[in-house]
Amino acid sequence: MNMCSKGLAASVWLDDATVTGTLAGLRVVDLSRVLAGPLCTQMLSDHGADVIKIESALGDESRQLGPPFDAQGNAAYFTAINRGKRSMTLNLASEDDREMLMLLLEQADVLVENFVPGTMKKWQLDYETDLKDRFPKLIYCTISGFGDSGPLGGLPGYDAVLQAMCGLMSINGSPETGPTRIGIPLVDHLTGYTALSGILMALYARERSGKGQRVEAVLFDAALSLLVPQAANWMQSGVSPTRMGSGHPNIAPYDCFETSDGPMFLGVVNDSQFFKLCTYINRPDLVNHPDYATNAARSQNRVALRAEIEPVFLAESRDALCAGLMRQGVPAGPVNTVPEALDLAHTRHRQMIVDEPAYRGLGIPIKLSSSTTKVGLNPPTLGEHNEQIKHILQQSLHSEQDT
């Protein structure tokens, strides 16, 4: 995958032979901060890519998004999305530091940035005018709130702002709570995966064309794409979606229910599952009742249906009820806390916890049957690899100037 258009006197990139994974040999320059970009580049690193994280002297803002902080002073937030990378500080407003970035790009495959649109152009690092011709194989991924054109183009955007603007908050929560932010930065997460997908597609296209291209991942687009099925429902019916708590606008019973010792979630999607539910709770009379015989009928009569089945749940223990329903093929699960979810035996079985002496974090969600995935270096301290990388780059810079 390596470009190697004008090799460095001594490469700062890791020896391919020492790295495993599907993306071993892929070289990534990460200029991004906070969440979407760093998450994207961490996923690339988890699968073998060599990622050099470029930060200003102030560092990625997420280093300060705590408490809690680790022993090195990094916020837990930062450590969650920056493992497997080397950190180097550069001042991109400085011509000398920009030239060092250019030396990195000589052998890089991918550049990821999420500055406010126009920032890279101000630094003479614009893809179309400054980088495309000089690095024809480079995959340039830009992540922004609204893109760089249109009525909102160039404006700054954060996850919660996009949740608000794109309708997600309007359908989250209950009539009593009012519009509610989704409890995780879901738009940022999806945009990170969108960027990852775009980069991989661009690399695939490069294998055939030999040319790189610009990949654009935009929070606004990602947020709107999450409106399934609410957007389609509105387009078909003209009825504006409303807040339904944990319920589903198209499916019933698909909601939280109380048991004798805590809440559970029941997800009945089809008639077969509804039959199994009614059989298990000894309410076969509900199966052929005209108000509940089909999903459409159940959705229209969801309040009455809840009144029929919840009293049965209230007499049962949450975990026993969920386990029994699942054995019958009815999707159901306890509403766990975060510690409870991370403590599940299945969490360990799926290798979704990394528990090492110097690092604890979530595991790798993308698993390939014939390729190695491995958590790499611990999240770096700010500028941890400056001496290692800058020394080689400065040698190369001086060598070029002498010639």
Which residues are annotated as catalytic? 248
Strand partners, 69: 75
HSE of 33 in the Cβ direction (CA atoms, 13 Å)? 16
Is 359 within 8 Å of 378 (Cβ atoms)? yes
Nearest to 157 by CA among 107, 221, 205, 252: 221
3-state class of 259 per DSSP?
A: strand
Element (DSSP H or E) covering residue 8 = none
Q: What sign does the CA torsion over 97, 100, 105, 110 have?
A: negative
Is 97 within 8 Å of 89 (Cβ atoms)? no
**How many CB atoms lie under 10 A from the CB of residue 177?**
10
**Across 187-328, where does the E strand assignment appear?**
214-218, 254-259, 262-267
Give dist(CA 263, CA 248) in Å, integer.
17
Polymer length in residues for the chain: 403
**Interior/surface letters 28-62, b for 16+ CB within 10 angstroms, e for the rest:** bbbbbbbbbbbbbbbbbbbbbbbbbbbbeeebbeb
Tokens standing for residue 4: 């190697």
